[in-house]
């Protein structure tokens, strides 16, 4: 049974699952689909062609499905697609996609977006990520899984952040960040491997050791990029964890170092 406050506005065409709670002064647009067990605390706006999975929580003044901040946008139909068990804290904004960027902004499952986080058009966020307060993703940014972005991070457009990355607060991220890295700075610099995060996700001691050594080789100043990759391939190419690191470098970085 749904629980809808009398001051909430649910436009004709909106689709609600079961056990949905919609608090005071919320607005749900006509193109919105809300899955079972979602909760809109108060003053939440869900707009556009937005599809939301189950058991998501939206805190006051979060705004999901708004028009992209892209001057080329001309009211084309575009989407926001959200998975399940995400938490959107106060003032979070998520904008729908653009035709030029594929038309979709995607958020997976079990993500925490803290206060005043912004997710711009055509971003793709995986699962189990944490975006701390006042962090902003520019358009077309990809976050893989288990990424933690510190407070007041800014991520430039068209970048990718690999799985298990941890960034410090107030970092300006203007380059792709490979899996397992940790760092900080304005501008962001990789400082090492996110060992604490890997232990928390039950990586074996052997895998962590392989990642550490691959990371050390890749960032050696006396090795060119292709030489470092060749050494890593020859030494740890059979390691699944290192393979993910290598695949990221090949796909996202080409021939450039971080």
Q: Which residues are catalytic?
A: 121-122, 139
Buried/exposed code over 136-171 (b: 16+ C-beta within 10 A; e: otherwise): bbbbbbbbbbbbbbbbbbbbbeebbbbbbbbbbeeb
For the sheet with 63-66, list strands across it.
Answer: 9-10, 27-28, 45-46, 63-66, 93-95, 118-119, 136-137, 154-155, 172-173
- Rounded Cα distance between 141 and 159, Å, is 5
Residue that is written with structure tokens 């649910």 in the block: 10
Could you tell me if 168 and 154 are in contact, meaning their C-beta atoms sit under 8 angstroms apart?
no
Could you tell me if 47 and 29 are in contact, meaning their C-beta atoms sit under 8 angstroms apart?
yes
Give the gyration radius of the chain's Cα atoms: 20
Residue that is written with structure tokens 């997710």 in the block: 119
């Amino acid at each position: 049974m749904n629980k809808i406050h009398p001051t909430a506005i649910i436009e004709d065409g909106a689709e609600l699952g079961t056990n949905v709670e919609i608090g005071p002064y919320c607005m749900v647009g006509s193109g919105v689909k809300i899955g079972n067990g979602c909760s809109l605390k108060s003053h939440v706006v869900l707009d556009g062609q937005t599809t939301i999975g189950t058991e998501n929580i939206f805190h006051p003044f979060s705004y999901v499905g708004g028009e992209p901040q892209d001057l080329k946008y001309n009211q084309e139909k575009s989407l926001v697609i959200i998975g399940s068990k995400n938490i959107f804290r106060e003032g979070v904004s998520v904008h729908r996609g653009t035709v030029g960027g594929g038309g979709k902004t995607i958020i997976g499952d079990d993500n925490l977006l803290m206060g005043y986080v912004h997710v711009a058009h055509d971003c793709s966020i995986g699962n189990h990520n944490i975006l701390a307060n006042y962090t902003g993703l520019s358009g077309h940014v990809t976050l893989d899984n288990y990424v933690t972005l510190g407070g007041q991070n800014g991520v430039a457009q068209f970048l990718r952040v690999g799985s298990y990355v941890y960034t410090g607060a107030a970092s300006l991220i203007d380059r792709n960040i490979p899996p397992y890295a940790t760092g900080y700075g304005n501008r962001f610099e990789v400082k090492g491997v996110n060992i604490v995060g890997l232990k928390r996700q039950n990586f074996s001691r052997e895998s962590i050791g392989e990642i550490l050594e691959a990371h050390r080789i890749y960032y050696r100043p006396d090795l060119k990029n292709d030489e470092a990759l060749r050494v890593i391939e020859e030494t740890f190419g059979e390691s699944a964890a290192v393979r993910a690191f290598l695949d990221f470098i090949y796909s996202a970085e080409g021939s450039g170092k971080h």
